[in-house]
Protein backbone atom coordinates (compact mmCIF):
# COMPACT_ATOMS: atom_id res chain seq x y z
CA UNK A 1 0.00 0.00 0.00
CA UNK A 2 1.25 3.49 -0.84
CA UNK A 3 1.76 5.78 2.14
CA UNK A 4 -0.35 8.90 1.75
CA UNK A 5 1.23 12.34 1.87
CA UNK A 6 -0.59 15.49 2.93
CA UNK A 7 1.51 18.58 2.22
CA UNK A 8 0.57 22.16 3.00
CA UNK A 9 1.70 24.73 0.46
CA UNK A 10 1.62 27.99 2.38
CA UNK A 11 2.43 29.97 -0.78
CA UNK A 12 3.35 33.61 0.03
CA UNK A 13 1.58 33.66 3.38
CA UNK A 14 2.64 33.77 7.00
CA UNK A 15 4.75 35.76 9.41
CA UNK A 16 7.08 34.66 12.19
CA UNK A 17 4.29 35.02 14.70
CA UNK A 18 1.56 33.41 12.61
CA UNK A 19 3.84 30.50 11.66
CA UNK A 20 4.72 29.83 15.29
CA UNK A 21 1.07 29.74 16.29
CA UNK A 22 0.06 27.55 13.35
CA UNK A 23 2.89 25.08 13.92
CA UNK A 24 2.33 24.74 17.64
CA UNK A 25 -1.31 23.92 16.98
CA UNK A 26 -0.35 21.39 14.30
CA UNK A 27 2.34 19.78 16.45
CA UNK A 28 -0.19 19.18 19.17
CA UNK A 29 -2.99 18.00 16.90
CA UNK A 30 -0.98 15.83 14.50
CA UNK A 31 1.03 13.04 16.07
CA UNK A 32 3.48 11.07 13.94
CA UNK A 33 1.58 8.68 11.71
CA UNK A 34 2.72 5.41 10.28
CA UNK A 35 0.01 5.65 7.68
CA UNK A 36 0.45 9.22 6.45
CA UNK A 37 3.37 11.57 5.87
CA UNK A 38 2.69 15.21 6.65
CA UNK A 39 4.68 18.20 5.42
CA UNK A 40 4.49 21.97 5.32
CA UNK A 41 6.05 24.16 2.63
CA UNK A 42 6.49 27.71 3.93
CA UNK A 43 8.03 30.63 2.04
CA UNK A 44 11.79 30.08 1.76
CA UNK A 45 12.69 32.84 4.18
CA UNK A 46 10.84 31.07 6.96
CA UNK A 47 12.28 27.60 6.34
CA UNK A 48 14.98 27.79 9.06
CA UNK A 49 12.59 28.90 11.78
CA UNK A 50 9.93 26.39 10.74
CA UNK A 51 12.50 23.58 10.65
CA UNK A 52 13.79 24.60 14.07
CA UNK A 53 10.32 24.59 15.56
CA UNK A 54 9.47 21.21 14.04
CA UNK A 55 12.67 19.58 15.26
CA UNK A 56 11.87 16.16 16.74
CA UNK A 57 8.36 16.28 15.33
CA UNK A 58 7.18 14.02 12.52
CA UNK A 59 5.89 16.88 10.36
CA UNK A 60 8.43 17.42 7.59
CA UNK A 61 9.28 20.50 5.59
CA UNK A 62 9.58 21.36 1.93
CA UNK A 63 10.51 24.29 -0.25
CA UNK A 64 7.99 25.74 -2.70
CA UNK A 65 10.48 25.79 -5.55
CA UNK A 66 14.18 25.28 -6.26
CA UNK A 67 16.59 26.36 -8.94
CA UNK A 68 17.45 24.09 -11.82
CA UNK A 69 21.05 25.25 -11.37
CA UNK A 70 23.42 23.96 -8.73
CA UNK A 71 25.07 27.24 -7.74
CA UNK A 72 26.44 30.43 -9.22
CA UNK A 73 25.31 33.75 -10.59
CA UNK A 74 21.54 33.30 -10.33
CA UNK A 75 20.30 36.25 -8.32
CA UNK A 76 17.33 35.47 -6.14
CA UNK A 77 17.37 31.74 -6.78
CA UNK A 78 17.60 29.04 -4.15
CA UNK A 79 19.55 25.86 -4.88
CA UNK A 80 18.18 22.45 -4.02
CA UNK A 81 21.39 21.72 -2.08
CA UNK A 82 20.62 24.71 0.14
CA UNK A 83 17.11 23.44 0.86
CA UNK A 84 18.54 20.05 1.72
CA UNK A 85 21.32 21.52 3.86
CA UNK A 86 18.93 23.39 6.10
CA UNK A 87 16.73 20.35 6.58
CA UNK A 88 14.07 20.21 3.89
CA UNK A 89 12.81 16.83 2.73
CA UNK A 90 10.64 17.98 -0.18
CA UNK A 91 10.65 20.59 -2.93
CA UNK A 92 7.57 21.51 -4.93
CA UNK A 93 8.45 22.02 -8.60
CA UNK A 94 6.29 23.28 -11.44
CA UNK A 95 3.47 24.77 -9.42
CA UNK A 96 0.99 26.33 -11.84
CA UNK A 97 1.42 29.73 -10.21
CA UNK A 98 5.08 29.62 -11.21
CA UNK A 99 4.40 28.11 -14.63
CA UNK A 100 2.04 31.05 -15.25
CA UNK A 101 3.81 33.97 -13.56
CA UNK A 102 7.44 33.01 -14.11
CA UNK A 103 6.83 31.33 -17.47
CA UNK A 104 8.39 28.09 -16.29
CA UNK A 105 7.98 25.59 -19.08
CA UNK A 106 7.93 21.83 -18.71
CA UNK A 107 11.59 21.30 -19.60
CA UNK A 108 12.65 23.88 -17.04
CA UNK A 109 10.44 22.21 -14.44
CA UNK A 110 11.93 18.84 -15.35
CA UNK A 111 15.41 20.29 -14.76
CA UNK A 112 14.25 21.46 -11.33
CA UNK A 113 12.92 17.97 -10.63
CA UNK A 114 16.33 16.50 -11.48
CA UNK A 115 18.15 19.14 -9.41
CA UNK A 116 15.93 18.51 -6.39
CA UNK A 117 16.46 14.79 -6.59
CA UNK A 118 20.20 15.13 -7.07
CA UNK A 119 20.29 17.12 -3.84
CA UNK A 120 18.50 14.34 -1.96
CA UNK A 121 15.11 16.04 -1.88
CA UNK A 122 11.82 14.42 -2.81
CA UNK A 123 10.45 16.53 -5.66
CA UNK A 124 6.70 17.12 -5.75
CA UNK A 125 5.97 17.66 -9.44
CA UNK A 126 2.81 19.70 -10.05
CA UNK A 127 0.85 19.12 -13.23
CA UNK A 128 -2.57 20.31 -14.27
CA UNK A 129 -4.64 21.92 -16.98
CA UNK A 130 -6.21 25.36 -17.35
CA UNK A 131 -9.97 25.67 -17.58
CA UNK A 132 -9.67 26.47 -21.28
CA UNK A 133 -7.67 23.27 -21.77
CA UNK A 134 -10.34 21.21 -20.04
CA UNK A 135 -13.11 22.84 -22.02
CA UNK A 136 -11.26 22.18 -25.25
CA UNK A 137 -10.75 18.53 -24.32
CA UNK A 138 -7.00 19.00 -23.88
CA UNK A 139 -6.65 17.89 -20.24
CA UNK A 140 -4.82 14.68 -21.01
CA UNK A 141 -2.50 16.14 -23.61
CA UNK A 142 -1.50 19.01 -21.28
CA UNK A 143 -0.85 16.70 -18.34
CA UNK A 144 0.99 14.25 -20.60
CA UNK A 145 3.30 16.96 -21.87
CA UNK A 146 4.13 18.10 -18.32
CA UNK A 147 4.70 14.55 -17.11
CA UNK A 148 6.62 13.35 -20.16
CA UNK A 149 9.12 16.18 -19.84
CA UNK A 150 10.20 14.70 -16.50
CA UNK A 151 10.00 11.09 -17.66
CA UNK A 152 12.12 11.91 -20.71
CA UNK A 153 14.75 13.94 -18.87
CA UNK A 154 14.97 12.07 -15.58
CA UNK A 155 13.91 8.56 -16.65
CA UNK A 156 10.96 6.70 -15.23
CA UNK A 157 12.96 5.28 -12.30
CA UNK A 158 13.37 8.84 -10.97
CA UNK A 159 9.67 8.86 -10.21
CA UNK A 160 10.10 5.99 -7.77
CA UNK A 161 11.42 8.53 -5.29
CA UNK A 162 9.30 11.44 -6.44
CA UNK A 163 5.73 12.57 -6.01
CA UNK A 164 3.28 13.91 -8.59
CA UNK A 165 0.53 16.36 -7.65
CA UNK A 166 -2.40 16.78 -10.00
CA UNK A 167 -3.67 20.32 -9.54
CA UNK A 168 -6.27 21.43 -12.07
CA UNK A 169 -5.50 25.14 -12.35
CA UNK A 170 -9.18 26.08 -12.40
CA UNK A 171 -9.63 24.44 -8.99
CA UNK A 172 -6.80 26.29 -7.24
CA UNK A 173 -8.00 28.86 -4.75
CA UNK A 174 -11.34 29.09 -6.49
CA UNK A 175 -13.46 26.93 -4.21
CA UNK A 176 -14.11 24.72 -7.26
CA UNK A 177 -12.90 21.19 -6.71
CA UNK A 178 -12.57 18.59 -9.40
CA UNK A 179 -15.43 16.15 -8.97
CA UNK A 180 -14.34 12.74 -7.75
CA UNK A 181 -14.89 11.42 -11.29
CA UNK A 182 -12.79 14.18 -12.88
CA UNK A 183 -9.98 13.71 -10.37
CA UNK A 184 -10.08 9.91 -10.60
CA UNK A 185 -9.90 10.06 -14.37
CA UNK A 186 -6.77 12.22 -14.49
CA UNK A 187 -5.07 10.35 -11.64
CA UNK A 188 -5.64 7.07 -13.47
CA UNK A 189 -4.34 8.68 -16.66
CA UNK A 190 -1.14 9.75 -14.88
CA UNK A 191 -0.58 6.32 -13.35
CA UNK A 192 -1.21 4.59 -16.67
CA UNK A 193 1.16 6.90 -18.47
CA UNK A 194 3.92 6.07 -16.00
CA UNK A 195 2.95 2.38 -16.17
CA UNK A 196 3.58 2.42 -19.92
CA UNK A 197 7.25 2.89 -18.99
CA UNK A 198 7.37 0.93 -15.73
CA UNK A 199 4.52 -0.85 -14.00
CA UNK A 200 6.41 -1.14 -10.74
CA UNK A 201 7.23 2.57 -10.58
CA UNK A 202 3.61 3.38 -11.42
CA UNK A 203 2.33 1.07 -8.71
CA UNK A 204 4.42 2.75 -6.01
CA UNK A 205 4.08 6.37 -7.24
CA UNK A 206 2.28 8.74 -4.90
CA UNK A 207 -0.11 10.98 -6.83
CA UNK A 208 -1.58 13.81 -4.76
CA UNK A 209 -4.64 15.86 -5.59
CA UNK A 210 -4.59 19.63 -5.11
CA UNK A 211 -7.16 22.34 -5.72
CA UNK A 212 -9.58 23.59 -3.06
CA UNK A 213 -9.16 20.55 -0.83
CA UNK A 214 -11.04 21.31 2.39
CA UNK A 215 -11.97 19.45 5.54
CA UNK A 216 -15.33 18.47 4.08
CA UNK A 217 -14.21 17.12 0.70
CA UNK A 218 -10.85 15.57 1.62
CA UNK A 219 -12.07 12.12 2.66
CA UNK A 220 -14.09 11.67 -0.54
CA UNK A 221 -11.08 12.56 -2.69
CA UNK A 222 -8.54 10.55 -0.71
CA UNK A 223 -10.74 7.45 -0.86
CA UNK A 224 -10.38 7.30 -4.66
CA UNK A 225 -8.08 4.50 -5.78
CA UNK A 226 -5.36 6.56 -7.47
CA UNK A 227 -5.29 9.48 -5.01
CA UNK A 228 -2.58 9.18 -2.39
CA UNK A 229 -3.08 12.36 -0.41
CA UNK A 230 -3.22 16.05 -1.14
CA UNK A 231 -1.32 19.25 -1.77
CA UNK A 232 -3.25 21.80 0.23
CA UNK A 233 -3.15 25.58 -0.27
CA UNK A 234 -5.58 27.83 1.58
CA UNK A 235 -6.76 25.23 4.07
CA UNK A 236 -3.18 24.49 5.17
CA UNK A 237 -3.05 27.92 6.82
CA UNK A 238 -5.80 26.96 9.23
CA UNK A 239 -4.71 24.50 11.91
CA UNK A 240 -8.16 22.96 12.38
CA UNK A 241 -8.77 22.58 8.66
CA UNK A 242 -5.34 21.12 7.94
CA UNK A 243 -5.62 18.73 10.87
CA UNK A 244 -9.02 17.57 9.65
CA UNK A 245 -7.57 16.95 6.18
CA UNK A 246 -4.68 14.94 7.65
CA UNK A 247 -7.18 12.98 9.74
CA UNK A 248 -9.23 12.29 6.62
CA UNK A 249 -6.14 10.76 5.01
CA UNK A 250 -5.42 8.71 8.14
CA UNK A 251 -9.03 7.47 8.18
CA UNK A 252 -8.90 6.41 4.54
CA UNK A 253 -5.55 4.65 4.99
CA UNK A 254 -6.74 2.71 8.00
CA UNK A 255 -9.92 1.62 6.18
CA UNK A 256 -7.82 0.46 3.24
CA UNK A 257 -5.44 -1.52 5.41
CA UNK A 258 -8.24 -3.11 7.47
P1 LIG B 1 -5.90 25.73 -2.74
O2 LIG B 1 -6.01 24.54 -1.80
O3 LIG B 1 -5.89 27.04 -2.03
O4 LIG B 1 -6.90 25.64 -3.84
O5 LIG B 1 -4.44 25.62 -3.44
C6 LIG B 1 -4.04 24.42 -3.98
C7 LIG B 1 -2.61 24.54 -4.35
O8 LIG B 1 -2.26 25.28 -5.27
C9 LIG B 1 -1.62 23.77 -3.59
O10 LIG B 1 -0.37 23.80 -4.18
Q: Which of 91, 125, 131, 172 to mutate to test the pocket of ligand 1 (most atoms within 8 A of CB)?
A: 172
Q: Name the band, by pLDDT with cuts 50, 70 and 90, for residue 256.
A: confident
Active site residue 57: no
What is the domain-level CATH number for residue 110?
Answer: 3.20.20.70
Active site residue 167: yes
- From the CA of 102, how far away is ligand 1's center (Å)? 18
End-to-end distance of the chain based on CA atoms, in angstroms?
A: 12
pTM value is 0.97
Mean pLDDT of the chain: 96
Q: How many beta carbons lie within 10 A of that of residue 141, not counting itself? A: 12
pLDDT tens figures, 140-152: 999 999 999 999 9
Please return the burial class of 188, using the count of CB atoms within 10 Å of its CB with bins 0-12, 13-18 and 19+: middle
How far is Cα 190 from Cα 195, in angstroms, rounded to an integer?
Answer: 9
Question: What does the pLDDT look like over 8-24, one tens digit per residue?
Answer: 999 999 999 999 999 99
Residue 210: the pLDDT is: 97
Give the number of domains in the chain: 1
Domain hosting residue 66, numbered range? 4-257
Q: In this predicted model, what pLDDT tens digit does every residue of 73-112 receive, in sequence order?
A: 999 999 999 999 999 999 999 999 999 999 999 999 999 9
Q: Is 81 in the pocket of ligand 1 (CB under 6 A)?
A: no
Judged against a pLDDT cut of 80, whether residue 52 lies above it is answered with: yes
Cα 207 to averaged position of ligand 1 atoms, centre (Å)? 15
Where does the chain show beta strands of DSSP type E? 4-9, 36-41, 60-63, 90-93, 122-127, 163-166, 206-210, 229-232
Amino acid sequence: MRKALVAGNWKMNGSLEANRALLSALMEAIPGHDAVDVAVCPPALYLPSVIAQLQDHAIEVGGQDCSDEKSGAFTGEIAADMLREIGCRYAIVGHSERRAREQEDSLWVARKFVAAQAAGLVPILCVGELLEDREAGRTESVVAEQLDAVLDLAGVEALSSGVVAYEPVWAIGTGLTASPEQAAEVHAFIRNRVAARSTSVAASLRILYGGSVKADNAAGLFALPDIDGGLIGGASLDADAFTAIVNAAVGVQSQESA
